[in-house]
Amino acid sequence: MSENNPNISIVVPLYNEEESLPELLAWIERVMAENRFSYEVIFVDDGSNDRSWEVIRSLHDANPCVRAIRFRRNYGKSAGLYCGFEAARGDVVITMDADLQDSPDEIPELYRMVTEEGYDLVSGWKKRRFDPVGKTLPSKFFNGTARLASGIKLHDFNCGLKAYRNQVVKSIEVYGEMHRFIPFLAKQAGFKRIGEKVVHHRARKYGVSKFGWERMIKGYLDLITVLFMTRFGKSPMYFFGGLGTLMFLVGGATTVWVIAEKLYKQAHLIPVRGATDQPLFYIAMGAVVIGVQLFLAGFIGELISRNSGDRNRYLIDEKLQNKSVSQ
């Protein structure tokens, strides 16, 4: 990284958090000053419909280390992280939520684990949570499933408080609800030193949680997606072509069996039903047709994978850049 880049970039995606923002920034400023870090704070306003952007403007005017991005409409947390990562210049990139449930006091130790212990990514673990049972129980179930599927021994994949080496955030693509699986994306990109730190979790002070069952369902669908994409994203024909070959062989073998059985019975003067009167014949034809369709899906997937450059294009309404880097 260039000598002009800050030690730390703090990326804060947010939606309707006008009340917490001044308190959060004051807390960050205190921690940065006490540890003599150079830093930048990148607020990403995900199309808030309250006064969040006006508050960010005033914070930017008062602190030259504040940068901000405002989306024209709501895209979701992954979009905010993607654009924040793209803008981040710090040697270490910290992500945290804007609701004051993540403590900036954790930042120095997260920074040390990346710079001194050599971790590529350190994920927070909210071992003791202050969320309602309706949020904690699904979260535990989800984390267990993600841990089993990814092979990464983390307790809290969805913790917003994480630290990354800059090269990590520049090497991964986050979209949809993929922010839940950033450790897995980092691992697939070759960054395998992934650690975990128990972090302090605070009860929400302002506003209401945006968590809901819809997000939980999307999370599982995206888990399936990320597992598929990391294995077959570059060559979908391996997946669809393999299934297509299997179905085609099953259908072909069944058809041969039906024909061979009919010829045998005819040769031995055994009464035989017509091929089209047998359910097995239609099963065989169906398997052949499905096999061909899977092959076509593989070809289409290959074409799409080579023309997907517009996936992470977001309408940005306004940007606020910093005037200098704080020491």
Q: pLDDT of 142-160, one tens digit each?
A: 777 778 877 888 888 888 9
Positions of the chain with pLDDT under 50: none
What is the share, in percent, of the chain residues with pLDDT greater than 90? 43
48 close to 16: Cβ distance less than 8 angstroms: yes
The three-class DSSP label of residue 20 is coil
Please report the pLDDT score of residue 138 as a whole number: 67
CA distance 80 to 43: 9
Please report the pLDDT score of residue 316 as a whole number: 80
- Residues in the chain, how many? 327
CA distance 217 to 240: 25
193 close to 118: Cβ distance less than 8 angstroms: yes
Would strands 39-45 and 194-198 be described as parallel, antiparallel, or unpaired?
unpaired
Domain ranges of the chain: 8-232, 236-305
Q: Which two tokens stand for residue 104?
A: 């900036």
181 DSSP 8-state letter? G
Note the helical H segments in 88-165: 107-115, 133-150
Please report the pLDDT score of residue 57 as a whole number: 96
**Looking at the domain that runs over 8-232, which CATH code has it been given?**
3.90.550.10
Sign of CA dihedral 166, 98, 215, 80: negative
CA distance 92 to 70: 23
CA distance 225 to 62: 43
Residue 93: what are its φ and ψ, rounded to 5°? -110, 125
CA distance 18 to 206: 9
CA distance 273 to 281: 11
User: 121 has which bridge partners?
Assistant: 164, 194
Please report the pLDDT score of residue 112 as a whole number: 97
Please report the pLDDT score of residue 142 as a whole number: 73
Note the helical H segments in 1-129: 21-35, 52-62, 77-87, 107-115
Please report the pLDDT score of residue 215 as a whole number: 60
Please report the pLDDT score of residue 108 as a whole number: 97
Q: Is 104 exposed, middle or buried (0-12, 13-18, 19+ CB in 10 A)?
A: buried
Q: pLDDT of 189-242, one tens digit each?
A: 899 999 999 998 776 666 665 555 566 666 667 667 666 766 666 667 778 888
pTM (predicted TM-score): 0.72
